[in-house]
Structure 1
């Protein structure tokens, strides 16, 4: 199996960016939710990101050929090209999510986006394209979280507490709306997809999960996972709990036909979260820099009031920046990325001018020794977006032999990306505010899951429906005779017994409290 990504070999930068790295000091690679950078050697050369090292350091498992065979056996369909080419390369419990689907019929997909600009770039589309394929293959519900609040907090933290023009909360909410339209244009099914921004949606059962999860994470644990220090604002320190509990189906009762009561519509039975939703497993497709969030999540899933199964993850590599291995596309650097709003001319100019080449310094040397597709950015982009395995392998073979020149590889890449972006832009024109809001409306999603599970748990969505005033937990609405629910009557009886015991104590006796 050919792995179409950069190796750990040291490589130089393109002439356009040499001046930017010559002043860099030697440093180790750093990968976390807020930093993605390969190692820099003592000569200023940037090394490719070492994904084998990340597997070891993060404690994840490699995605193997056995996983692909199992995936194809369960779905009856060919594994997606990003899996076949090991661009989604590692996982946590991916085999268990396949088991759950085969046995019980369904799970929830969850992924997200931190909106930092008005247009997504190619790198942002990768996890969404893959997630869309998974949703279609498994016919399961999908939740997409837009972390506009986190991006605001992070940006203000970088600016040492100052709020600059154009980066207020309202600006990030605008970015989120534009990015949602980009995501919709990738072709997600509105019947089984829910997209929201944190600023607009948080509350209800979601916030109850958040509050409980915050109580399970200490400052030291958050600082260790995300690199926070004493000067980090408290909003950013607490934010991780939101991204974690966003993976809980119990945070979204509406999507499963149950009530997510929010004031002032708040009857007595709304006090409890829906325990039945806690049994639904979740799969998270995302880039590996987001893994620390879900490592914290997995360690605490089973400590919630309503224990949840450990979330499963399938993790991708980063789409290389135009300048080459050692970094990823960044919205803050226009010359590092192909944006989904770029014109055909801009795409052509960026690839020709900035794309790092795996070719030799002279035509004669290239013909003699051949090029290296492993570090060639144009080839790397083709490995993500060209569907034909045979053509991709032929391009690599011809490039290694010296038959295919760097300019020719770039031209093939330009043609493929221009086609992909142009088709996207045509769909994007049709995404109005009304279309966007339909995806953002809390409602029961329509999905079927596995048509023939071995041990079905109930209806197609895996959750017993609410009926006659009762939800899946068996909680009943208050009775007309005023007796209340069964749980309320039990609690009242226990309180009465406790009061009787206290009344029977000798006068002056002190109540012994926990911990004394």
Structure 2
């Protein structure tokens, strides 16, 4: 679930250039993120209330947080408490399903654009990791190297510039996967893949069917394509959409996929039980148009899927302040996860937009504005203590805390966070990466206190708590070749019965004593 310009859950680069005399409204979609530009040419902060109204999503309220804490038995994540994840679609329904049936699938992604992720890229992954731990559910992470290649070449009018070949984006994917792993995901319940390496089997079947449900005009309306857009980008959205279907990953639930060299007869049909599993997608709100397209069509699939649920975040602002965002193409706009402590210090001190006053005397008298202060904004994402964060804001507003002191606290927090990350990153070898990228049955527990009866259980939904039901369903599919849901076609079922009777007759024949006959 990743945009062409940045990761799924992280916004693409902001274009802050505008004519000084022309007012430009904010533009937020999977390929553009820009705050409103006023008549003086100043870029305003993104208006998230307007996005809620324009996109037709719902605000994440205190009632949702209370419900979340009741279901999980744990406090809401700081990004939820501080309304940095601020909107949703059907988040309450995913909680209902978890209470009744015990599990669901998490899905998010990343559009690899450089060898190192920056601080903004980590935000959706840190939140997703917390959700996975709280709910004990399977997680799929998609690296959209193909989309990044297509978008970059389209942006360059078909010219392939140095560092933007297909092979380059595949390497970026591998580097980014190692960064993601270093954030602390559990390999037993996490599957990570790149499009170039994984697409095929049931995933491609879902893609092909979904492509048939979306017209060129609909894709153009959702993503802004025109007659000059390459055909790869026009069709790409179907891949990102069906990546949210658990039925695209049968091996993660113990079923056979239809891929070489196995080509098992049981995998000739998609598995209907997997289509019953709902998915929750944590991402930034610029990605919402993809999943609006998905939600409008998922129930029209041969095996109808429930509408995906979304929990949507704001964008981590660029060092230069509100209206922009961290961009991999502008090193002075971002703190990279590969930056040294000294680089972090210099970037915050030199480039971080300040909410302080022009003079020390004025700041002491009137106080600063933490709402636009970049150092404080970064602390709101990464500082765990609500009490300390509130105290910093209070002291800054009063003029007691100076801009330099706010920046110093931010530098200390980021140096610690990135330093610990870099230690873990050094331990992520190619062998460790393969543990995450190899398709295999995931191990997860789900909700041990779900309220469903045995008859309510959906095969494939449950992890350890319902493993017998899952295993029985998978074994049943293997026992009956082909057919929808593993039942086999009429001819295949008849052949299987004949083979079974033949085996029974052979078993009833008297066995020869040792030494009799043979060769």
The verdict on how the C-alpha distance between 1:375 and 1:296 changes in structure 2, with shifts beyond 3 A counting, is same
Report the Cα offset of residue 267 of structure 1. 3.9
> Secondary structure in 2 aligned to 1:47?
coil
Residue 477 of structure 1 corresponds to 481
Does the aligned pair in 2 maintain the 1:110–1:247 contact within 8 Å? yes
Residue 182 of structure 2 corresponds to 185
Give 2:334's match in structure 1, choosing from 329, 337, 352.
Answer: 337
Residue 488 of structure 1 corresponds to 490
CA distance in 2, matches of 1:78, 1:189: 21
Residue 354 of structure 2 corresponds to 357
Residue 278 of structure 1 corresponds to 275
Match status 1:450 vs 2:454 = no
Does the aligned pair in 2 maintain the 1:258–1:471 contact within 8 Å? no
Residue 396 of structure 1 corresponds to 393
CA distance in 2, matches of 1:51, 1:355: 22
Report the Cα offset of residue 142 of structure 1. 0.2
1:13-58 deviation digits (Å, cap 9, x = unpaired): xxxxxx9667684311111111111011110111000000000000
Give 1:434's match in structure 2, choosing from 403, 413, 431.
Answer: 431
Residue 256 of structure 2 corresponds to 259
Does the aligned pair in 2 maintain the 1:152–1:168 contact within 8 Å? yes
Does the aligned pair in 1 maintain the 2:282–2:311 contact within 8 Å? yes
CA distance in 2, matches of 1:491, 1:190: 38
CA distance in 1, matches of 2:123, 2:389: 18
Number of aligned residue pairs: 471
| Runs (4+) off by over 2 Å | 19-26, 263-270, 458-472, 484-492
CA distance in 2, matches of 1:491, 1:373: 69
The verdict on how the C-alpha distance between 1:351 and 1:263 changes in structure 2, with shifts beyond 3 A counting, is same
CA distance in 1, matches of 2:441, 2:488: 27
Which sections of structure 1, spanning at least 5 residues, go unmatched? 1-18, 493-516
Match status 1:367 vs 2:387 = no
TM-score (norm: length of structure 1): 0.88
Give 2:120's match in structure 1, choosing from 120, 123, 145.
Answer: 123
1:52-81 deviation digits (Å, cap 9, x = unpaired): 000000000000000000000000000000
Greater shift, 286-295 or 263-272, is seen at 263-272
Residue 383 of structure 2 corresponds to 386
> Secondary structure in 2 aligned to 1:399?
helix
> Secondary structure in 2 aligned to 1:353?
helix
CA distance in 2, matches of 1:442, 1:430: 22
TM-score (norm: length of structure 2): 0.87
Give 2:409's match in structure 1, choosing from 398, 409, 412.
Answer: 412
Residue 465 of structure 1 corresponds to 470
Residue 86 of structure 1 corresponds to 83
Report the Cα offset of residue 149 of structure 1. 0.2
Residue 215 of structure 1 corresponds to 212
Once the two structures are superposed, the pairs formed by residues 292-307 of structure 1 within 5 Å of their partners are 292-307=289-304
The verdict on how the C-alpha distance between 1:490 and 1:90 changes in structure 2, with shifts beyond 3 A counting, is same
Residue 164 of structure 1 corresponds to 161
Report the Cα offset of residue 266 of structure 1. 2.2
Structural RMSD (CA): 2.2
Does the aligned pair in 2 maintain the 1:329–1:337 contact within 8 Å? yes
Match status 1:153 vs 2:150 = yes
